[in-house]
A and B are shown apart, each in its own frame.
Chain A
């Protein structure tokens, strides 16, 4: 074995315990508080995804905010260079909204201010996360992956109405 100075051994033990505490906290909080990251939904053909009748993202834009039950919504957002469709979504306060986002061209990002909704949006894949909105207000959702020279103009708004 290696000879290790006692002070160094204490440091190694102490920092390892610290990392174990951090790691445990991360894992416990991930499972205990309904934490979610995007996980596989389905794989699509991005060339067809915006075609009417081929997928929910092919439906008219005003039909893509769907009320499944009172205060329970599902939104199909299509990302493309350089906008989101729909770009404005209105739901009443207290709503739980599931965001289903895909791209019909290049990679994009989707981050909704003030929530834990943050995901990569890839052509051919469906990014899905859910959030509940207990406070009225306007929340921006912003594209955070470079997608061409108009990238910085790509955003939309979720308006939570009182």
Chain B
């Protein structure tokens, strides 16, 4: 069924996985450098010039490319299969894919040529090749076009099914893409107004403070753009995979609407320590960031309750016995459940980052990569691996190469990430070790850091091995000579309570209006202030690497 979307999704996932392979390979090299094993000189022959070029590759390919390609592919697939309706404009969705690929190539070439060693945050006035910025912009534009293809399909479905409630997976997928369209207006403005004309030499100066503010307008909701597709799976699919039901479907819908509302007006919690943002606005965003924990706490209860239904249906008894009864031999479930556990640690640690005052202790320290490797590096990425364990066999029409290798992959990721993130968190908290830094040769690095750096490096190596296990399985599946004996269906969880959710949870207008209003209130005055005091004085620096 829906052959066109199968092929399209396969291509999105394939490109994303190639990106993650290259970007991921940089990770263990960084951790080795921190313990004094510097492999970068040896890699100059293959064109890797520095630690920081490798770090740029790591951030761009993992955080921007792998995520965006996987997400657009997965959500398009999920929408079509949830609505049981093919795309209305498949050419539009293919255009999205091609635009994203063109953007990826445009951005990747300067990165590989070492003319864009500015990391994935590209804070001006570090100035990369203009192609880097134009390429990243095209990746975002391509993802918008993919969203439009989804919206048109959803709109057609609503016309064809008047009065029918939108299936949960389709609704959640479309809310995620809608949030992304609004959230990326920040980065689009930064690129099109400030950075691209400046990098092309059309204007002399840039305002770094305003550029940062636009960047973080997108930079926090981007983490929800990464996370919400994982939530689509945790709510909409995992309960089915464990033989349970979705405990409270209406609250699951509410959670997605709350993420639309609250993901964006919180970006200033990344800028608590910025010089020219008034403290009052930082506090407003601090409070809003705290409110953003509510939908995540709702999620924790709802998903655990849904899995408990499954565990008990499978014969689990007692307070915790249902956990043992879960299908731990199913790698798709195991990977996602371990991802949830790691994500819970990441979320709890995130309370620190969000806190207006505690953030001072850990801002830009190793705590931060420790945090986001638990969230995007585990909660998201390990979930996507779990999804790939059923989705790639379905798309390739071939059985998974090895269940056993997949289970090893999930558990090694879990172990490696625990070690690495534990080391990084403590380095940041106790010693203030800076992030994004070649610590192996930093003159101020203390010998007290060594045991923790070794722990993190050990974790990094285990993660590298885990990554290889994943790719072995993917290649083994795609190039297998076997074919599936029976078709794999997308798992779709049924709600425990068959009554449909109330109509206000299936209505777009009030939620979108409230989202826009909240953004205007929380960002409007600050942006007016910064723009009316525009400081376009910084020339570009392109020879610092």
Footprint of B on A, CB under 8 Å?
A: 1-5, 8, 11-12, 15-16, 19, 22-23, 26-27, 29-30, 35, 37-41, 43-47, 81, 105-107, 109, 111, 113, 116, 118-128, 140, 142-153, 155
Contacts and interface: CB of A to CB of B under 8 A. Distances in A.
A2 B501 CA distance: 7
Contact of B434 (A15, A106, A111, A149): A111
Interface stretch (B85-93, B101-109, B290-298, B337-345): B290-298
B119 A41 contact: no
B251 A2 contact: yes
A124 B250 contact: no
Interface stretch (B4-12, B150-158, B274-282): B274-282
B96 interface: no
Contacts of B272: 37
B209 A124 contact: yes
Contact of B356 (A37, A107, A122, A142): A37
B541 A113 contact: no
Contact of B275 (A47, A126, A155): A126
Contacts of A38: 273-275
B265 to A, nearest CB: 16
B344 to A, nearest CB: 13
B438 A26 contact: no
Which residue, A4, A41, A123, has most C-beta atoms of chain B within 10 A? A123
Contacts of B277: 39-40
Given A2-B254, A3-B250, A107-B123, A37 B535 contact: no
B208 A39 contact: no
B290 A19 contact: yes
Contacts of B356: 26-27, 30, 37
Contacts of A5: 247-248, 305
A125 B355 CA distance: 24
B443 interface: yes
A118 B123 contact: no
Interface stretch (B179-187, B359-367, B396-404): B359-367
Interface in B424-444: 432, 434-439, 441-444
A151 B438 contact: yes
Given A109-B364, A118-B273, A12 B298 contact: yes
Given A119-B273, A144-B434, A19 B294 contact: yes
Contacts of B435: 144
Nearest to B545: A149
A39 B364 CA distance: 18
Interface string B20-40: 000000000000000000000
Nearest to A10: B301
B502 interface: yes
B360 A118 contact: yes
A155 B443 contact: yes
Given A109-B364, A122-B275, 19 more contacts: A2-B251, A3-B250, A8-B305, A16-B294, A22-B290, A22-B355, A26-B290, A26-B355, A26-B357, A37-B360, A111-B363, A120-B275, A125-B209, A144-B363, A145-B364, A149-B52, A151-B438, A153-B441, A153-B442
B499 interface: yes
B180 to A, nearest CB: 26
A47 B536 CA distance: 11
Size range of the chain B interface in the assembly: 35 or more
A124 B537 contact: yes
A21 B3 CA distance: 52
Contacts of B302: 8
Contacts of B279: 37, 39
14 contacts: A3-B497, A8-B248, A8-B302, A19-B294, A30-B356, A43-B535, A120-B275, A122-B274, A125-B208, A127-B273, A142-B444, A146-B119, A151-B52, A152-B438
A151 B437 contact: yes
A41 to B, nearest CB: 7
A22 B436 contact: no
B533 interface: yes
Q: Sort A-B residue pairs by CB-CB distance and give the 6 closest, nearest first.
A: A148-B544, A144-B434, A144-B364, A125-B275, A152-B442, A2-B250
A40 B126 CA distance: 23
A126 B439 CA distance: 27
B164 interface: no
Nearest to A14: B297
A1 B208 contact: no
Contacts of B254: 2
B85 to A, nearest CB: 27
B538 interface: yes
